[in-house]
A and B are shown apart, each in its own frame.
Chain A
């Protein structure tokens, strides 16, 4: 069974630039999550989708972060403009049968 796919694996950008991350969940999983993990901390939920609708985006900094899940499958997370404190690993997860499965994440460095 294919896992959660994320790209790119690494990204380095300058502050005030924009960046986008892509996620392809496990086939058939209706629920998709984006997490942010800052070095030394546990992952923090940014947004949860159910099919192509947003269930919870209360912790998403909406002035600079946006996410979409068109057609209820793939999802993209965008940051515009990036700040130094956005340096983190961005993890995508999908959920089925009571378990959540995570991708390897995208490591973003903002310089």
Chain B
């Protein structure tokens, strides 16, 4: 079973920041937080991951609380192409090959 809780849906105005929350209160010390998204009719796409420090890449920023019980994915300037289902996943290890366990995710709708 998925170890994360996410809101089922969110809306965001185009050009504004999209902040997607995730609760993972039972996360273990060796588990990373991963974010994937799935655009309609495509396979899931990797966005970002982190252990305890905040992370940023060309797609998004990941903010993890100090107690690591929750995190927020930030898309700084959402576009219509960011409309997708976003999955927050906790996974053991960074270089390990443990599978991703998906929940239901958050359906983000970016509105013009």
**A residues within 8 Å of B by Cβ?**
4, 30-31, 33, 35, 41-45, 48, 50, 55-56, 91, 93, 95, 97-105
In the complex, which residues of chain A have a beta carbon less than 8 angstroms from the beta carbon of B97? Answer: 30-31, 48, 50, 55, 95
A-B contacts, CB under 8 A, total: 54
Beta-carbon contacts of B94-111 to A below 8 Å, as 1s and 0s? 111101111111000000
Taking a contact as CB atoms under 8 Å apart, the answer to whether A42 and B2 are in contact is: yes
Chain B's closest residue to A41 (CB) is B104
What residues of chain A lie closer than 8 Å to B105, measured between beta carbons? Answer: 42
B43 within 8 A of A: yes
**Considering the chains assembled together, what is the distance between the CA atoms of A41 and B32 in angstroms?**
23
- Chain B positions within 8 Å of A, measured between CB atoms, are 2, 32, 41-46, 49, 85, 87, 93-97, 99-105
Chain A residues, Cβ within 8 Å of B43: 4, 91, 93, 102-105
Q: Which residues of A contact B104 (CB under 8 A)?
A: 41-42
Q: Is the CB of B42 within 8 A of A104?
A: yes
* Most B CB within 10 A of own CB, among A31, A45, A102, A104: A102
Closest to A4 in B: B43
Could you tell me if B99 and A42 are in contact, using CB atoms closer than 8 angstroms? no
Contact A33 B99 (CB under 8 A): yes
Q: CB-nearest residue of chain B relative to A45? A: B99
Known A-B contacts A42-B103, A42-B105, A44-B102; the reply to A98 vs B45 at CB < 8 A is: no
- Distance A55 CA – B97 CA, assembled complex (angstroms): 10
**Chain B contacts for A33, CB-based, 8 A:** 99-100
Closest Cβ of chain B: how far from A32's Cβ, in Å? 10
**What B residues does A44 contact at CB under 8 A?**
102
A34 CA / B28 CA spacing, docked (Å): 26
* Residues of B close to A43: CB separation below 8 A: 44, 100, 102
B100 pairs with A100, CB closer than 8 A: yes
Q: Shortest distance in angstroms between B67's beta carbon and chain A's nearest beta carbon?
A: 23
